[in-house]
Amino acid sequence: MTLILKVDPVNPEITKIRTAAEILRKGGLVAFPTETVYGLGADALNPNAVRKIFEAKNRPLDNPIIVHICDKSQLFELVEEVPEWVIKAVEILWPGPVTFVLKKRKIVPNEVTAGLPTVAIRMPAHPVALALIREAGRPIAAPSANLSGKPSPTTGEHVIRDMYGRVDVIIDAGETFFGVESTVIDATEDPPIVLRPGPMTVEELEQIVGKRFRIHPVALGRSKISIPKAPGMKYRHYAPEARLILIEGDHEKVMKTILEIYYRYKSLGKKVALLITRETRNKLGISRDVIEIGSRENLYTVAKNLFKSLRMLDEKSYDIGICEGFELRGVGLAIMNRLRKAASEIINS
Ligand code: AMP
Ligand code: MG
């Protein structure tokens, strides 16, 4: 069965961390908090342990996993040909929510990289994650600790709901800090390519690194815009059971469309929730059926509440969630990437 360890997020109890680390070393699975979302960890150098991650999550085998380290020097044991700009960048950015994809060394099993010649690496900025990796004495491969296709977990309770009985240990240290997964940069290309936007924004990265980055079309979450999904079509990520409708465009028009769609589905007898910011809620003057997702004044609040709000749709048995869109700048890019992937339907007003 699953051992649940409640730990202090800032000063983790070392005996509990050692218990979890010992299980990792023996090839077990440990869910643990990072500053982004909860991860589902296994010994990155043990192919059998890594395979268990895919089983526990129902994860497609062709989806590679990020390797987590606790010391910058470990990077050179796992990859070769680290460009000078990456060496300088990690000096500034690690520990932190940025992942670099680099050419892998032989020591990294194909199970981790889904057969790719590259591996994604990061050093997380969470005391619990760092202590666990250090005590395990090896790098930890970890995707997000949710069932594949579901919203990523940002609290210990989310992990328990998805993973209890499927993993050996769940370390519960409360809520994560950022709430969306790390920014992923393909550093094997020049200019580097943003594969997934995250808490560290493209604008900040470009300034720190002194290079322009390219943004991969997938990073915009645009693979399926404006097409209402056929029922049962499993192309979605981060998806609640409820039908999520994302309204993009000029904010005044967005607010009008939100109301129209809300009342249309209400009149059809559906249970409808509005996933909107404090500002939008105040302007619309609605308080019932609102799941407040943060403030437009600081989009990091929206990032932090995003997955929790998507999960709430199902916890409260809503049929439909209607969500406002955000600008594709700063952390807004990371939010829109998740929302577009989670949405059943995207409407441009
Ligand atoms: P997850 O940790 O489940 O949120 O997903 C990790 C993500 O990191 C994957 O879906 C990929 O987008 C990315 N990733 C991991 N390894 C690689 C790699 N070798 N090359 C490109 N992208 C990668
Ligand atoms: Mg994931």
Q: Tell me, using a 6 A CB cutoff, whether residue 41 lines ligand 1.
A: no
Residue 214, phi-psi category: left (phi > 0), alpha (psi -120 to 50), beta (remainder): beta
CATH of domain 243-348: 3.40.50.11030
Q: Residue 266 in 3-state DSSP? A: helix
Token digits of residue 286:
């609605």
Give nearest CA residue, ligand 1 atom 11: 64
Residues of the chain with CATH 3.90.870.10: 3-220
Instruction: Judge whether 189 and 103 are in contact, CB under 8 Å.
Output: no
Q: How far is the CA of 253 from the centre of ligand 2 (A)?
A: 32
Q: What pLDDT does 222 receive?
A: 72
Q: What pLDDT does 231 receive?
A: 32
Q: What pLDDT does 223 receive?
A: 59
pTM, rounded to two decimals: 0.95
Q: Tell me, using a 6 A CB cutoff, whether residue 325 lines ligand 1.
A: no
Give nearest CA residue, ligand 1 atom 6: 65
For the chain, residues with pLDDT lower than 70 are 223-236
Residues of the chain with CATH 3.40.50.11030: 243-348
Q: How far is the CA of 268 from the centre of ligand 2 (A)?
A: 34
Instruction: Write the CA distances from 226 to 54, 212, 245, integer angstroms.
Output: 31, 30, 10
Q: What pLDDT does 236 receive?
A: 66
CATH of 3-220, one of 1.10.3720.10, 3.90.870.10, 3.90.50.10, 2.60.110.10: 3.90.870.10
Please provide the DSSP assignment of 284-324 as one string: HT--TTEEE--BTTBHHHHHHHHHHHHHHHHHTT-SEEEEE
